[in-house]
Amino acid sequence: MPFTPATAEQRFVLEETVRLSELAATERFAAATPDVIDAVLDGAGQFAAGEWAPLNRVGDTVGAKWAPDGVRMPEGFRQAYQDYVAGGWGTIGVAEEWGGQGLPFAVQTAVLETLGTANMAFALCPTLTVGAIEALAHHGSPEQQAAYLPKLATGEWTGTMNLTEPQAGSDVGALRSMAMPRSDGTWSVKGTKIYISFGDHDLADNIVHLVLARTPDAPAGTRGISLFLVPKVRLDGTPNDVRVVSIEHKMGLNASPTCVLSFGDNDDCIGELIGPVHGGMRAMFTMMNNARLNVGLQGVQVAEAATQGAVAYALDRVQSARAGGTSRDPVAIVEHPDVRRMLLRMKAQTQAARALVYYAAGQVDRAALGDADARGRLELLTPLAKAHGTDLGCEVASLGIQVHGGMGYVEETGAAQHLRDARITPIYEGTNGIQAADLVGRKLALENGAVFAALVSDMRRDVAHEDLKALVETCNLIGRQLATAGHDDRLAASYPFLTMLSVATCGWLLERQARAAPDDAFGAAKRVAARFYLDQIVPEALGLRAAATASADVLYALPAQAFAA
């Protein structure tokens, strides 16, 4: 499949949507000058095209392999990862005190987008490390930060997040892993974790596992959970008692080993407490919220990759004469109206997802500068970015198969891989249903509704398109109704409402982009994509009003067993 770094689009969105120049005007982000950003985006694109994109096919067809002594990645992956470390690509958004470059999170987001578009499964490894860095930077002790953050920043060591257990998936409070105090202040960790992305591999010399576990006499549920740092190799160089039991055989992301990890089989797994006892969920949510934005970014990655592949195929594939034309000669399928409809929808939805995720990333940077309003808006946007970004990734990947026709169903073209890779993204890091429940259950009520009201106010002030105005007002009305609705009714409406609010936010951002776009070929394409989005996708979201205002009664009109009839 073809791969071209989307650097022109990234530059534009960083400036217009993130307002990067405003960030660069602060002391903290003064290094984010235009020439530095250009060098970063261009360099990341060249690196991804030269080293990561060529491994995408072998990563899918060969995949990671389990062995009794650990997971082995396909040929070429270790060298490409070591080159990633040597190039400093992991240090982009890390604070300078830990060996990073101190650039905005939004710039790091653009780099991760490029890497993931080139090779989505491979890019999961540094994505998880970014989350581990965030957790330690906010909750680790000075000693832990000094010992681990410099190695994690460069990528010499990688990080993981260990929440899920066989009996405890979305219900994290049901986990059973235990940590017992040792006389030297460390802890003995014992338990089994599943679905651990890059839980083991041969890319780096050490893996830093962040593990949720219970302490003795801990209260039930999430209140009794603590977070522990468990390295694969201890700081003194001795192996820790951590074993990879197996890896999953998955639908996609075959170059991302999804591991079952066993801690303490020999009662010699030593970990360190991160933060206070029973403070695990607070620390883990720092990592999870970061990861949720980056999973939303995976939707952008796969949508961009699928769109590039579909466009290349449509320009090359010649079939049938143009309907209604004077010539009977066959034309490239890009000339057929329905193919153009699909391609334009793919481009518009990809740009919408990118605008939403980058906008949220910009709020991360503003919150880091102490902007309380940005912190609240980030909380509101996170479920939108994760859920809608991944929904769009799946939609665009599916359309990419359709553009390819029968060849899209054949693995040889690579179009099917995008959908296989993308389909997990609405599931992990909190299912999209959980994101919708979070939106209506917690986020609409932030500051007694003031955070939601501020977003609506900003959109009202900017939008000009009539359907978009109607969608913003409808979201405002339904959002206020849901704030006082019964529990079942609120949750029944949550997913269609999340989609409506996401489309309204994306439409607002794309309309702003269209107004700011330059008078050249790039700007013309931007305006056409925005026009398509506003004219055709925004009205679809308005059609969700009935679902977002319906009672939950119909969902419970059948007894549970009747669903099996």
**Which active-site residues does the annotation give?**
429
Q: Running DSSP on this structure, what letter comes out for residue 537?
A: I
Helix, strand, or coil (residue 170):
coil
Q: Are 549 and 489 in contact (CB under 8 A)?
A: no
Q: Are 264 and 190 in contact (CB under 8 A)?
A: yes
Q: How far apart are CA 555 and CA 544, in angstroms?
A: 17
For tokens 């989350």, what's the residue?
A: 131
- Residue 140 phi/psi, 5° resolution? -75, 160
Compute how many other C-beta atoms are within 10 angstroms of the C-beta atom of residue 142: 7
Q: If you count them, how many residues does the chain have?
A: 565
Residue environment code for 281-305, b if the CB has 16+ CB neighbours within 10 A, otherwise e: bebbebbbbbbbbbbbbbbbbbbbb
Q: How far apart are CA 34 and CA 431, in angstroms?
A: 37
Taking alpha carbons only, the member of 154, 139, 149 closest to residue 203 is: 154
* Angle in degrees, 0-180, between the axes of helices 7-16 and 487-516, rounded to the nearest 10: 110
- Residue 33 phi/psi, 5° resolution? -75, 160
Residue 331 parent element (H or E): strand 330-332
Taking alpha carbons only, the member of 455, 448, 489, 492 closest to residue 475 is: 455
Q: How far apart are CA 33 and CA 25, in angstroms?
A: 9
In single-letter form, the type of residue at position 360 comes to A
Partners of 67 in the β-ladder: 70
Taking alpha carbons only, the member of 240, 257, 245 closest to residue 206 is: 240
What DSSP assignment string belongs to 405-450?
A: GGGGGSGGGSHHHHHHHHTTTTTSSS-HHHHHHHHHHTGGGGGGGH
Report the largest interatomic distance among the alpha carbons of the chain, rounded to a whole angstrom. Answer: 87
- The number of angstroms, rounded, from the C-alpha of 63 to the middle of its chain's C-alpha atoms is 22
Residues 6+ away with beta carbon under 8 Å from 477: none
Beta strand 206-214 with 157-162: parallel, antiparallel or unpaired? parallel
- Residue 318 phi/psi, 5° resolution? -100, 125
